[in-house]
Amino acid sequence: MNKHIVIVGGGYVGLYTALRLQRKLRSELRGGEARITIIDPQSYMTYQPFLPEAAAGNLSPRHMVAPLRRVLPQAHILNGTVTKVDHAGRVVTFQPAEGEPREIAYDVIVMAAGSISRTLPIPGLTDIGIGFKTVGEAIALRNRVLHLLDVAESTEDPEVRRRALTFVVVGAGFAGVEALAELEDMAKHSTRYYRNIKPSDIRWVLVEATNRVLPEVGPEMGRWTLEQLRERGIEVKLDTRLESCVGGHVVLSDGTEFDAETLVWTAGVKPSPVVGDSDLPLDERGRIKTTAMLTVAGSPGAFAAGDAAGVPDVTNPGQYCAPNAQHAVRQAKVLADNIVRHLRGEELVDYRHKYVGSVAGLGLHQGVANVYGVKLRGFPAWFMHRTYHLSRVPTLNRKVRVVVDWTLALFFKRETISLGEMEHPRDGFRAAVATTRR
Ligand SMILES: Cc1cc2nc3c(=O)[nH]c(=O)nc-3n(C[C@H](O)[C@H](O)[C@H](O)COP(=O)(O)OP(=O)(O)OC[C@H]3O[C@@H](n4cnc5c(N)ncnc54)[C@H](O)[C@@H]3O)c2cc1C
């Protein structure tokens, strides 16, 4: 046999599946009887739970990603996107970063393309909104918050100042609450270097359409988190929707209106678009219809897991596994083992994991946790959050780098520099060329 396994997406599921296949199929990979190709626009896997810490400047962005080529020497990494999956013909269409698209044939496919932000047709949202799912977004937000403190310090126009110092986050799940809490903590810390900005001058507004925050940690800890955020001066608006934000003028469903320079949208996710560009069956939520064995229903040779897949939760009949890293990592292990069983003609096994609860960081030394029914808040929860994620971040190399970052942050004050100019590296050169012409 020379079996080609193509993995669409090099995130949690893609990376951990390939890592295990590398180990389990060692002799087949060496003997050329099997080969693995991973396709992803990026050459690294992003450890998303660390995005808020990277935005706050506690972690270097380079240390929260795992370089695919280094971690997976036995796999072929292709950078670009899969634009179509023709499972009937066992072929994907690959669009490389540069050049013409081409077709890649496979024997086994793993759909691990994850999710993207789920947006709504709200006037102005595409113009001023920013998501919080990628390293680029997290670092751009960090630069933006710090840059807007500079703007507010330097202007004499009270309107410009108020607008610059108003930050809105829509969606009070994991991503929204952690991003807001870490950024607010960082901004508050940074005000000590500004003469004319006090922490109370900065307005943070969290908008949530339901009546709870952080459902991942359960109702009791969610209520505690809500109190904490409000005690910190954050305006939390429950049962409220964003109606419009044209030109940065924010209108909420409770009648509130104000101007804001920054609006972060974290109100849910939907499967990556490639899922719809395939001939694989989808469920009612547009995810790949997946069996408990992580195969795609009625499609031999196709496997799926993670945010893009609707995986039945066998520990909770009638329900699906939630889209989170806890499931993604564990699903990847079973998925890889099932691919090996499939190649060897053995019987596949079910994915079975009972959700154990969650931990969330709410800024330096602050957190909330509900794991195996143990509820923690404040410093112990924050410590648990850090140790848990440290144990989960892939490779020893990354773990050491993360610990070094945290240790440095312990002894030296955190960095509060905006390097927003990195997003426009040619501006200075263009200005120089214009001067020469004149
Ligand atoms: C800010 C934040 C904090 C979080 N915190 C937690 C937490 O504390 N605990 C927890 O359990 N979960 C957390 N999550 C959720 C968790 O990160 C996701 O559930 C997990 O990443 C899903 O894994 P995945 O492999 O399905 O998708 P991903 O890890 O997102 O990987 C998908 C990959 O597919 C690639 N891709 C997409 N489309 C294509 C295409 N067409 N062709 C090729 N490649 C493609 C993407 O580039 C990406 O690399 C958090 C998420 C965010 C955003």
Does ligand 1 come within 6 angstroms of the Cβ of 325? yes
pLDDT over 80 at 78, yes or no: yes
- From the CA of 113, give the closest atom in ligand 1: 34
Residue whose C-alpha is closest to residue 89's, from 301, 253, 286, 329: 301
What are the residues whose beta carbons fall under 8 Å from the beta carbon of 291, sequence distance 6 or more?
Answer: 297, 312
Residues 275, 199: Cα–Cα separation, whole Å: 44
Does ligand 1 come within 6 angstroms of the Cβ of 131? no
Residue 1, pLDDT score? 64
Q: Which of 8, 17, 38, 40 to mutate to test the pocket of ligand 1 (most atoms within 8 A of CB)?
A: 40
Closest residue by CA, ligand 1 atom 6: 49
- Lowest-confidence region among 63-67, 68-72, 227-231, 360-364: 360-364
Residue 416, pLDDT score? 74
Q: What integer best gives the mean pLDDT of the chain?
A: 93
pLDDT over 80 at 414, yes or no: no
Residue 411, pLDDT score? 81
Range 347-370 average pLDDT: 90
Does ligand 1 come within 6 angstroms of the Cβ of 272? yes
Q: What's the 282 CA to ligand 1 centre distance in angstroms?
A: 19
Percent of the chain residues past pLDDT 90, beyond the cut: 79
Closest residue by CA, ligand 1 atom 17: 48
pLDDT over 90 at 374, yes or no: no
In this predicted model, what pLDDT tens digit does every residue of 5-36 receive, in sequence order? 999 999 999 999 999 999 999 999 999 999 99
Question: Hey, which of 29-33, 111-115, 420-424 has the most confident mean pLDDT?
Answer: 111-115
pLDDT over 80 at 313, yes or no: yes
- From the CA of 305, give the closest atom in ligand 1: 26
Terminal alpha carbon distance of the chain: 68
Confidence band of 301 (pLDDT split at 50, 70, 90): very high
Question: Which residues in 247-265 are b (16+ Cβ under 10 Å) and which e?
Answer: ebebbbeeeeeeebbbbbb
Residue 205, pLDDT score? 97
Range 351-377 average pLDDT: 88
- From the CA of 359, give the closest atom in ligand 1: 8
Range 266-289 average pLDDT: 94
Report the predicted TM-score, pTM, of the whole model to 2 decimal places: 0.92
Sign for the CA dihedral angle at 301, 306, 311, 315 comes to positive
Output phi, psi for 58, to 5 deg.
-80, -20
In this predicted model, what pLDDT tens digit does every residue of 241-259 receive, in sequence order? 999 999 999 999 999 999 9
